[in-house]
A and B are shown apart, each in its own frame.
Chain A
Amino acid sequence: MTTAPFAIAIELDGDGAHPAAWRAVDHAPADLLSGKRIAATVRAAERAGFTAVTFEDAAVPPGSGPTGRLDAVQRAAFAAPLTSAIGIVPVVPAVHTEPFHVSTQLATADLASGGRVGWIAATDPDPRSAAVYGRPAVDATEAVATASDAIEVVRQLWDSWEDDAVIRDTTTWRYVDRDRLHRVTVESQRFSVAGPSIIPRPPQGQLPVFAPLAGGLPAGTDVALVTSSAQATRRVATEAGAAQVWLELEVALDRAGVPAARRVAALDAHEPWAPGTVGRYVGDAAGLVDLLTDLVGQVDGVRLHPAVLDDDLDEIGRAALPVLRDAGLFRSPRPGEHLRTHLGLPVAVNRHTAARTAALEEVTA
């Protein structure tokens, strides 16, 4: 366990986790796919004090609820200049995408946010996703292995510029020190990427990488997203290399005098909210506070999936987070704080800078 503050993230995809959530919000259905809507929800999440927002994504449309979905990196980048403290963590599929593009897109969003972006590396083995990219379908094992290779390539690209590579030296007229730019050396049969990157190292150095534990955790993951807080599950995640374990949790709260169960039942009448592998809490805010209090010490954080985004985000922020904060169990990120720092992940020292420093110490020792 780390000594970092307990993390409470919130998923902002669609109008909420309930497939009929779009019937319970105040905007026209198509307005879900607008900048105005993204701005409203990320600002609400930052005001409430959540650790981070996440944006679900996939190469195929959502299976239930609204079938329209904006690209998650684009949503993250759009959210960046509208916020100043909250972490912003998009899903970017890791199996069929090009690691070179993934690395530059995420680095760009990290720059625009001042170091607040993370990456959920999805390992979706859906053959329909392969067809979107015109690549051969892969099984679940190969998907995780490919994602592991992709994460390694992306991490090497983030390190391919040392932090002080831009020198602007007016005595030699060199803008960049080419000795501080590096090729990528990945021993993989899946990728050959030359490098260096086309963008300097992102502010965080290395963005925090998240991945679901289900189906196998890709190598290089910092935070495993799990669906059980059982000790056995946590052990699997940490043995697979994760520094932190966050629990996924669906949430519906009592709202404006209407019990959560009744709110859910009203939506279920349109389309049932089928239970999946993720646990669900339906009840009052005090019960959620108790549940989260119990989880502190068992896991490093939670990612909440609100039944109806507008209602449940607001209710969690109003009635649950302040209680946890007052109890000293939770701290919101501060403006300008890097996500990596806030999560208590170690400073990401550039591998090439470290190697040179070590070599230098050897010579001078």
Chain B
Amino acid sequence: MSTTPPRNQIQFGVFFQGVNSTTIWTEPESGSQTAFESFRRIAQTAERGLFSAFFLGEGLRLREHLGQVHDLDVVGRPDAQTQLAALAAITEEIGLVATQNTTYNDPVDLAHRLQSLDLLSGGRAAWNVVTTDNAWTGANFRRGGYLDHADRYTHAERVVETVRAVWDSWDDDVVATDRDAVDWADRSGVHVVERDLGHYAVRAEGRLPRSAQGHPVLFQAGDSDEGRDFAARAADVIFSAHPEFEDAKAFAADIRRRTIAAGRPEDDVKIFPGQQFVLADTDAEAEEKARWVAEHQITPATAIAYLENIWGTSLQSYDPDGPLPDIDPVVEVTGSTRGSGFQFQKSQELATQWRALSEAEGLSIRQLVTRVGVRRGGIVGGYSSVADRLAEYADAGAVHGFNVSPWLVPSGLDDIVDRLVPLLQDRGVYPTEYRGDTLREHLGLRGPLTRRAAA
């Protein structure tokens, strides 16, 4: 008897963004961005939909615009790891991913907290490794802006290596298995970690054994060449910025190549691009809804601030519903909104491009920003047609899953879980149960990199 081989599957994660310009905060159904109940609702909805992971970001300084705190977007969010520890208590299966940077977190403390989260959650923790050399963020920390831009990945690799050494500092089977043992832990199996990280050196005794999944899973989100190579050497999952189908396929091929070059099996790194979904019963309704979403994400004030970020000066005298400013940018590179991901592009070049687009299509400032804004609509369509499109991603191996950014909190996952997931399951391209008990098992990952030689 012949059986059809199972189709490739995709999975979902959810990114509760907190600080961003894409969450709609103006509507009656826009809930609190910081109340624990909002996080509980999203995490539990995601778990109901068999999502692999719940994902939190980190920003260690409030974003600023033209020298003042940026006041037009959602701002204020909990500490990622602390919040995930609270969510661990009220969820059973979903992975818990904390974005933590390698510059302003102390490596041993970071390792210990992640390992604590991993044990508390029964092997569901992950670390999204990000770098920063940003002296502006460093103003909140005693080491300050100690790291050069060029050294950020060198330092990050040292931090990751140190964190893993802490996680590996207890041999397996060190803890007593019964109450008559000689000691609670056999100290000969506990090793001191000493590392010189260049800018400082640490010496620590590990305080915890490994969890059910060995190590917390490592995510990586940088997109530069260096970032991709770093991911290929060190990460288990990439949170990518390449959701479009052709782009996603090219990105996956690039990562496979780099992963093999790093001496790992080609499927060792999973790819989860960030994605926004706008869904409705029909494609036409979804298109209409997507227009509404974009308009509510880009308020008139946000549209002006968006241009100010490029122009580098106040544009408050311009009408958001009128044409683009007739003056040229006063800065060479963008970056007035500090702490945003939209920095260091050539201002004049962008301004010229956008003017041309606006004139060609008769777009106002707000219409233009809605068009070119960071998040360009994402996947828009009727439930059934979106399910078909996602099945194509699965069949092509373009992604292992999507990290969904809901544009409404806390109801933003409801239609995905209640309407889209069942259709994906019908098509055989989405899990019908959690694969195991740990995040590593949900994602189909091999054991921790540092533990494979031993295995």
Among A23, A28, A132, contact of B109 (Cβ-Cβ < 8 Å)? A132
Q: How far is the CB of A36 from chain B (nearest CB, A)?
A: 8
Among A23, A29, A74, contact of B81 (Cβ-Cβ < 8 Å)? A74
Q: How far is the CB of A78 from chain B (nearest CB, A)?
A: 5
Of B194-202, B321-329, B378-386, the segment with at least 4 beta carbons within 8 Å of chain A is: B194-202
Task: Give 12 new A-B contacts, CB below 8 A, not counting A67-B184, A74-B113, A100-B141.
Answer: A28-B177, A29-B181, A61-B205, A71-B112, A75-B120, A77-B82, A78-B89, A108-B82, A133-B106, A175-B71, A175-B74, A200-B34
Of A176-184, A237-245, A353-361, the segment with at least 4 beta carbons within 8 Å of chain B is: A176-184
Give chain B residues whose Cβ lies under 8 Å from the Cβ of A199: 34, 76-79
- Contact status B116-A109, CB under 8 Å: no
- Contact status A34-B71, CB under 8 Å: no
Q: How far is the CB of B240 from chain A (nearest CB, A)?
A: 25
Instruction: Count chain B CB atoms within 10 A of each CB in A166, A173, A178 and give the residue with the most.
Output: A173
Give chain A residues whose Cβ lies under 8 Å from the Cβ of B51: none
Q: How far is the CB of A231 from chain B (nearest CB, A)?
A: 39
- Contact status B36-A111, CB under 8 Å: yes
Closest to A191 in B: B142
Give the docked Cα–Cα distance between A311 and B55 (Å): 39
Contacts of A67-118 to chain B: CB distance below 8 A: 67-71, 73-75, 77-82, 97-98, 100-101, 104-105, 107-109, 111-112, 114
**Does B374 sit within 8 A of A, measured CB to CB?**
no
Residue-wise, chain B 4-17 has the 8 Å CB interface mask toward A (1 for contact) of 00000000000000
- Contact status B204-A67, CB under 8 Å: no
Among A35, A70, A73, contact of B82 (Cβ-Cβ < 8 Å)? A73
Residue-wise, chain B 118-161 has the 8 Å CB interface mask toward A (1 for contact) of 01111000000000000000011110100000000000000000
Give chain A residues whose Cβ lies under 8 Å from the Cβ of B141: 98, 100, 193
Closest to B206 in A: A61
- Contact status A70-B208, CB under 8 Å: yes
Closest to A15 in B: B184
* A-B contacts, CB under 8 A, total: 217
- Contact status A131-B176, CB under 8 Å: no
Q: How far is the CB of B411 from chain A (nearest CB, A)?
A: 17
Task: Decide: A35 near B61, CB < 8 A? Known: A29-B177, A68-B209, A108-B82.
Answer: no
Task: Decide: A105 near B79, CB < 8 A? Known: A133-B108, A173-B299.
Answer: yes
Give the docked Cα–Cα distance between A108 and B39 (Å): 12
Q: How far is the CB of A365 from chain B (nearest CB, A)?
A: 31
Closest to B90 in A: A81
Give the docked Cα–Cα distance between A69 and B88 (Å): 18
Residue-wise, chain B 74-96 has the 8 Å CB interface mask toward A (1 for contact) of 11111101110111111000000
- Contact status A190-B88, CB under 8 Å: no
- Contact status A132-B204, CB under 8 Å: yes
Give chain A residues whose Cβ lies under 8 Å from the Cβ of B184: 22, 29, 65-68
Give the docked Cα–Cα distance between A45 and B255 (Å): 51
- Contact status A67-B187, CB under 8 Å: yes
**Does A170 sit within 8 A of B, measured CB to CB?**
yes
- Contact status A133-B71, CB under 8 Å: no
6 A-B pairs, CB-CB below 8 angstroms? A29-B176, A29-B181, A80-B36, A111-B35, A111-B36, A191-B142
Q: How far is the CB of B106 from chain A (nearest CB, A)?
A: 5
* A→B interface (CB under 8 Å): 22-25, 28-30, 33-35, 38-39, 59-61, 65-71, 73-75, 77-82, 97-98, 100-101, 104-105, 107-109, 111-112, 114, 128, 131-135, 161, 165-166, 168, 170, 172-178, 181, 190-196, 198-200
**Does B25 sit within 8 A of A, measured CB to CB?**
yes
Give the docked Cα–Cα distance between A74 and B178 (Å): 26
Give the docked Cα–Cα distance between A135 and B142 (Å): 11
- Contact status B62-A181, CB under 8 Å: yes
Task: Decide: A34 near B122, CB < 8 A? Known: A39-B89, A174-B72.
Answer: yes
Interface size on B, residues (CB 8 A): 76
Give the docked Cα–Cα distance between A191 and B143 (Å): 9
Give the docked Cα–Cα distance between A193 and B122 (Å): 36
Among B73, B85, B185, contact of A68 (Cβ-Cβ < 8 Å)? B185
Give the docked Cα–Cα distance between A23 and B68 (Å): 58
Give chain A residues whose Cβ lies under 8 Å from the Cβ of B61: 194, 198
Give the docked Cα–Cα distance between A73 and B117 (Å): 10
Q: How far is the CB of B33 from chain A (nearest CB, A)?
A: 8
- Contact status B200-A61, CB under 8 Å: no
**Does B59 sit within 8 A of A, measured CB to CB?**
yes
Give the docked Cα–Cα distance between A73 and B79 (Å): 11
**Does B250 sit within 8 A of A, measured CB to CB?**
no
Q: How far is the CB of A254 from chain B (nearest CB, A)?
A: 22
- Contact status A79-B89, CB under 8 Å: yes
Task: Decide: A166 near B76, CB < 8 A? Known: A132-B108, A194-B140.
Answer: yes
Among A68, A97, A177, A198, contact of B207 (Cβ-Cβ < 8 Å)? A68
Contacts of B206-224 to chain A: CB distance below 8 A: 206-209
Closest to A194 in B: B139
Give the docked Cα–Cα distance between A178 and B197 (Å): 38
Give the docked Cα–Cα distance between A132 and B85 (Å): 23
Give the docked Cα–Cα distance between A1 and B446 (Å): 60
- Contact status B86-A67, CB under 8 Å: no
Give chain A residues whose Cβ lies under 8 Å from the Cβ of B89: 35, 39, 77-82
- Contact status B71-A74, CB under 8 Å: no
Give chain A residues whose Cβ lies under 8 Å from the Cβ of B108: 59, 132-133
**Does B452 sit within 8 A of A, measured CB to CB?**
no
- Contact status B204-A131, CB under 8 Å: yes
- Contact status A174-B106, CB under 8 Å: no
Query: What 4 A-B pairs have minimum CB-CB distances, sorted nearest first?
Result: A134-B200, A173-B301, A77-B85, A71-B116
Give the docked Cα–Cα distance between A133 and B106 (Å): 6
Give chain B residues whose Cβ lies under 8 Å from the Cβ of A67: 184-185, 187, 190, 207
Give chain B residues whose Cβ lies under 8 Å from the Cβ of A176: 69, 71, 75-76
Instruction: Count chain A CB atoms within 10 A of each CB in B85, B112, B204 and give the residue with the most.
Output: B85
Give chain B residues whose Cβ lies under 8 Å from the Cβ of A97: 106, 109
Give chain B residues whose Cβ lies under 8 Å from the Cβ of A28: 177-178
Give chain A residues whose Cβ lies under 8 Å from the Cβ of B181: 29
Give chain A residues whose Cβ lies under 8 Å from the Cβ of B75: 175-176
- Contact status A111-B301, CB under 8 Å: no
- Contact status A35-B120, CB under 8 Å: yes
Give chain A residues whose Cβ lies under 8 Å from the Cβ of B202: 131-134
Give the docked Cα–Cα distance between A165 and B117 (Å): 31
Give the docked Cα–Cα distance between A173 and B304 (Å): 11
- Contact status A29-B204, CB under 8 Å: no
- Contact status A34-B142, CB under 8 Å: no
Closest to A72 in B: B116
Q: How far is the CB of B187 from chain A (nearest CB, A)?
A: 7
Q: How far is the CB of B420 from chain A (nearest CB, A)?
A: 28
Give chain A residues whose Cβ lies under 8 Å from the Cβ of B185: 66-68
Give chain B residues whose Cβ lies under 8 Å from the Cβ of A98: 104, 106, 141-142
Q: How far is the CB of A160 from chain B (nearest CB, A)?
A: 9
**Does B333 sit within 8 A of A, measured CB to CB?**
no
Give the docked Cα–Cα distance between A165 and B76 (Å): 10
Give the docked Cα–Cα distance between A112 and B176 (Å): 34
